[in-house]
Amino acid sequence: MTRSVRTLMVILGICFAVAAAASQKDAVPARLPAIPEQRVTFNRDIAPILYHSCAMCHRPGEAAPFPLLSYKDAKSHARQIAAVTQRHFMPPWLPEPGELKFADELRLTAGQIALFQKWVDQGAEEGEPSDLPPAPKFVAGWQLGQPDQVIKAEKPFVLPASGSDMYWNFIFRTPVDRTRWLKAIEIRPGDKRVVHHANILVDRAQTARRQEAQPGAGFAGMEIKIASETFDPDSHFFFWKPGTVPLPEPDGMSLRLDKDTDLVLNIHLQPSGKQEAIQPSLGLYFTEQPATLHPVLLQLENDRLLDIPPGDKNFLVIDDFILPIDVDLLAIYPHAHYLGREMQALATLPDGSVKTLIHIRHWDLNWQAVYRYASPVALPKGTTVTMRYIYDNSDQNTANPNDPPKRVVAGNRSSDEMAHLWLQVLPRALPDSAIDPRRILQESMARHTIEKNPADFEAQYNLGAMLQARGASDEALQHFALAVRLRPQDAVANNALGAVLLATGRTAEAILHFSAALTLQPDNFDAHYNLANALALQGQFREAIVHYGAAIRLRPDDASAEANLGAALAEAGHFPEAKLHLERALRINPQQELARDNLAEVNRTLNNPHP
Amino acid sequence: MWRARHNLRVFRFVVAILVAFSLAPFYVLYSTQNSAMALDGTASDPFQESRGKLVVLVFVRTDCPVSNRYAPAIQRISAKYEGQAAFWLVYPDRSESAEKIRQHEREYKYKLPALRDPQLVLVKLAQARVTPEVAVFDASRHLAYHGRIDNLYQDLGRARHAPTTHELEEAIQAVLNGRTPPASAPGAGCFISDLE
């Protein structure tokens, strides 16, 4: 009789995903006039900056409200250009300059900004035609070429003409009938003028679609939660913001896409003054190369500390995490809502040196982004990563959603707050190659979360699941027990606790928790199956048969359930019926050895009724 | 011959002034070369055509994201004061054709009369700096308020979730009720001086 225990369910937080990259890479130095008296002209001085840093969005069909390709375009917005660059509102780029460089930084130099103002002050002249550099070339349509497959949202979302910002989730049913590997996903968000940014979340267990009122309708919300039934910490950022060209994943870092995996596109929309129908598409680019490198998303957070009094201008939230292994940091994604003001992530290395991973002095949720480092940042084991966020809940914060300000705590609505920092890291291989470094990281993260908040149900559950997976049943038992104490009404946690009890020989207690799980959720396959196993183990075959039967009604193609039902029927003396189910188990899975052995035994008994 | 021509010139000159006076006796001197235009290309004087109501000029551009985002608010406020205030959309960009403006009005569901102001006559009169800004003129055509519609935008790129002050509506109500209108508050948006 098998004793397989089906409980591992790691509830992952939101995994955001990237591919942020601007289209042109080489920085253009400020072209200050060589002779001090030389007048600033469009053709010689302004056009190169616009072509490099503005035109990817300021061209027809892209996100910006007007093009900036010709002298006429620039002239009719000259003061506006000078004003928005001086305020660092354009081009949108939040991080301060620092030691670590990001790929495709969109920051203008002080010299370039000064040049715009000088150009305006001197009359915004066109200059000599011979000075004009060649116009930038852009790829029309799909930026990575024709995708291998295009999937379109089933139904458009209609954005009202007015109101404040909105968040909408589209669910894409993936069109693969077997496991494939993706090297890139290109997001076409719909009308780029109203879409501020978009994120893809990989939903392997189709959990998000439960929130749809009708299939394909999508649903509102800024933050969503995706559950996963397997240990699957591979994490990719797929992120779209205006002006970006998707970056294919590096070699070896392809994303696994299984049959029945959903891709959830979370988009941030800003009403434009007219009603807009938004119907995004995704372009999928496949590769034959399975993943050999497995990046992990680490999340620092301290939402529990978020209880910001009205009027507080300097509310500080910190989280520290010590890396248990060597990693390479690939990308970073800081996230807060409207009260976030200043955000810093620091790495204190074991030698005491401090690296600023990112510093955003003036956070603006509208321009949030995933930032990918120009080259990976090596962070050795023992490095302390610190998240340091400052919130402004005063009326001087223009973005404050409350007028007058009121107490704000953590939550998923945009008017609630968040203190999250996501790091995409590539763990270095461990000396003992049998140990998966991802598990070490995940376990450390879960322990860290529990240290901050022992009442965190999901962290207790996840740690229990990870410990159980590596055979540390005693410790797993403690954490599942805590999880059940935190949420006695949770069927999955009761089932998991029962499973560990069963595995450690505490069958009677296990039966209590499986039964509790089934009272809470009568259609829980795992609980029926596990309870049947526990009952069979105690020799209660008649009761076991009932629960195997229930399990099979829930999943008719489960070979183990059929095999165990056959075994229980045989134990109860119902040989012809046992034969039927054992044969069915073998039809589903011809490799089911236990069913084959048991079937042979049943056949012997049937052929030889009086041994 | 020479004198006759001279007389003729003087005569025409005088007529032009008289016409201008009859159009706007208390305020601007309009001529066909120097006035705002209706979309059909004819000279148009919003003060003359809004007789009996106070006049609200709303300065917009087809390609200004800030004024576009205000379209529903502008339409709503104009409907609310329909009987008392005549609203005019004023497009100061001389490169925006009548056809482009008509299309813009359709897209953003504007139901207001539109004027082109390529000579920036109304812009100067209203002391408008950016789109969107508004100017409220009382019954005697004095400029009672000019500036932002409300404080939705604190600056370019810095919008509130909802405005907390409503200068345009306050100004209209102040003029209607004989109170002092709010002080001029500058708008945030697209510079009209970029169009000169």
Asked whether residue B98 falls in the same domain as residue B7, the answer is no
Residue of A nearest to B164 (CA): A403
Residue B86 lies in a domain: yes
Q: Which residue has the tokens 């999955």?
A: A492
- Per-residue model confidence as pLDDT tens digits over B161-170: 889 999 999 9
Do residues A238 and A179 make contact, with C-beta atoms less than 8 angstroms apart?
A: no
B72/A272 Cβ within 8 A: no
Q: State residue A31's pLDDT score.
A: 57
Residue B136 lies in a domain: yes
Q: Which residues of B fall within a CB distance of 8 Å from A269?
A: none
A161/B109 Cβ within 8 A: yes
Global pTM reads: 0.82
Asked whether residue B22 falls in the same domain as residue B50, the answer is no
Q: Does A260 lie at the interface with B, CB-CB under 8 angstroms?
A: no
Do residues A32 and A115 make contact, with C-beta atoms less than 8 angstroms apart?
A: yes
Which structural domain, as residue segments, surrounds residue B9?
2-33
Q: Is A375 exposed, middle or buried (0-12, 13-18, 19+ CB in 10 A)?
A: exposed
Q: With pLDDT > 70 as the criterion, what percentage of chain B qualifies?
A: 83
Q: Which residues of A fall within a CB distance of 8 Å from B109?
A: 161, 274
- Per-residue model confidence as pLDDT tens digits over A11-43: 333 333 333 333 333 445 455 555 556 899 999
Q: State residue A32's pLDDT score.
A: 55
Domains identified in chain B, total number:
2
Mutation site for B-interface testing, chosen from A68, A71, A77, A125 by largest number of B Cβ within 10 Å: A77
Nearest 5°: the CA angle A248, A254, A257 is: 115
Residue B11 lies in a domain: yes
Distance CA A133, CA A36 (A): 22
Neighbours of A526 (CB within 10 A): 24
Nearest-neighbour CA in chain B from A312: distance (Å): 18
Asked whether residue B23 falls in the same domain as residue B49, the answer is no
- Ranking A184-198, B30-44, B130-144 by mean pLDDT, the lowest is B30-44
Q: Is A478 exposed, middle or buried (0-12, 13-18, 19+ CB in 10 A)?
A: middle
Nearest-neighbour CA in chain B from A107: distance (Å): 16
**Nearest by CB: A76 against B157, B164, B194:** B194
Q: Which residues of A fall within a CB distance of 8 Å from B71?
A: 161-162, 273-274
- Per-residue model confidence as pLDDT tens digits over A95-108: 999 999 999 899 99
Asked whether residue B58 falls in the same domain as residue B135, the answer is yes
Q: Does A401 lie at the interface with B, CB-CB under 8 angstroms?
A: yes
Asked whether residue B29 falls in the same domain as residue B56, the answer is no
Q: Is the ipTM of this complex over 0.85?
A: no
* Close Cβ partners of B100 (under 8 Å, ≥ 6 residues apart): B62
Q: How far is CA B139 from CA A62, B54, B122, B146, in A?
A: 45, 5, 17, 15
- Give a three-class secondary structure readout of A515-579: HHHHHHCCCCHHHHHHHHHHHHHCCCHHHHHHHHHHHHHHCCCCHHHHHHHHHHHHHCCCHHHHH
Q: Residue A188 pairs with which residues in a beta bridge?
A: A281
Residue B22 lies in a domain: yes
The residue ranges of DSSP E strands in B20-141, in sequence order, are: 37-38, 54-59, 85-91, 114-116, 130-131, 133-137
Do residues A460 and A486 make contact, with C-beta atoms less than 8 angstroms apart?
A: yes
Neighbours of A31 (CB within 10 A): 16
Residue of A nearest to B191 (CA): A80
**Nearest by CB: B193 against A79, A90, A338:** A79
Q: Which residues of B fall within a CB distance of 8 Å from A403?
A: 160-162, 164
Residue B101 lies in a domain: yes
Asked whether residue B169 falls in the same domain as residue B143, the answer is yes
Distance CA A442, CA A464 (A): 12
Distance CA A170, CA A155 (A): 9
Q: State residue A11's pLDDT score.
A: 34
Residue B26 lies in a domain: yes
- Per-residue model confidence as pLDDT tens digits over B59-84: 999 999 999 999 999 999 999 999 99
Residues in chain B whose Cβ is within 8 Å of chain A: 63-65, 68-73, 93, 95, 107-109, 154-162, 164, 190-191, 193-195
Q: Would you give the end-to-end CA distance of chain A in angstroms?
A: 23
Asked whether residue B120 falls in the same domain as residue B161, the answer is yes
- 3 state SS of B75: helix
Q: State residue A13's pLDDT score.
A: 33
Q: State residue A10's pLDDT score.
A: 34
Asked whether residue B21 falls in the same domain as residue B72, the answer is no
Distance CA A221, CA A410 (A): 15
Q: State residue A36's pLDDT score.
A: 59
Do residues A46 and A116 make contact, with C-beta atoms less than 8 angstroms apart?
A: yes
Mutation site for A-interface testing, chosen from B95, B104, B191, B193 by largest number of A Cβ within 10 Å: B191
In what side-by-side order are the strands of the sheet with A420-427? A296-301, A420-427, A327-335, A371-379
Q: State residue A249's pLDDT score.
A: 87
Which position has the higher pLDDT, A413 or B191?
A: B191
Q: Residue A398 pairs with which residues in a beta bridge?
A: none
Asked whether residue B92 falls in the same domain as residue B16, the answer is no
Q: Residue A266 pairs with which residues in a beta bridge?
A: A169, A199
Neighbours of A146 (CB within 10 A): 9
Q: Does A338 lie at the interface with B, CB-CB under 8 angstroms?
A: yes
Mutation site for B-interface testing, chosen from A165, A272, A392, A397 by largest number of B Cβ within 10 Å: A272
**Nearest by CB: B70 against A76, A78, A273:** A273
Reported confidence tier of residue A226, pLDDT bands at 50, 70, 90: low
Residue B196 lies in a domain: no
Residue of B nearest to A64 (CA): B65
Mean pLDDT of A34-56: 89
Read off the amino acid at residue A346.
Answer: L
Identify which of A343, A344, A341 has the alpha carbon closest to the alpha carbon of residue A313. A341
Q: Which residue has the tokens 């409980």?
A: A7
Which position has the higher pLDDT, B168 or A2?
A: B168
Which 8-state DSSP code applies to residue B193? Answer: G
- Residue A383 is encoded by which pair of tokens? 């490095």
Q: What is the pairing mode between strands A239-240 and A296-301?
A: unpaired
**Nearest by CB: A162 against B72, B157, B159:** B72
Residue B99 lies in a domain: yes
**Nearest by CB: A77 against B107, B158, B194:** B194
B164/A403 Cβ within 8 A: yes
- Per-residue model confidence as pLDDT tens digits over A257-300: 988 889 999 998 888 889 999 999 999 999 999 999 999 989 99
Mutation site for B-interface testing, chosen from A66, A75, A80, A192 by largest number of B Cβ within 10 Å: A80
Residue B5 has pLDDT above 60, yes or no: no
Asked whether residue B22 falls in the same domain as residue B108, the answer is no
Cα dihedral: A50, A52, A54, A58 (round 10): 90
Asked whether residue B23 falls in the same domain as residue B109, the answer is no
- Give a three-class secondary structure readout of A140-185: CCCCCCCCCEEEECCCCEEECCCCCCEEEEEEEECCCCCCEEEEEE
- 3 state SS of A41: strand
- Residue A372: φ, ψ to 5°: -105, 130
How many angstroms from the chain centroid is the CA of residue B158?
Answer: 25
Do residues A74 and A84 make contact, with C-beta atoms less than 8 angstroms apart?
A: no
- Per-residue model confidence as pLDDT tens digits over B8-26: 333 333 333 333 333 333 3
Asked whether residue B151 falls in the same domain as residue B76, the answer is yes
A75/B194 Cβ within 8 A: yes
Indicate which CATH number applies to the domain containing B153.
3.40.30.10
Q: Is A273 exposed, middle or buried (0-12, 13-18, 19+ CB in 10 A)?
A: buried
Residue B30 has pLDDT above 50, yes or no: no
Which 8-state DSSP code applies to residue B191? Answer: E
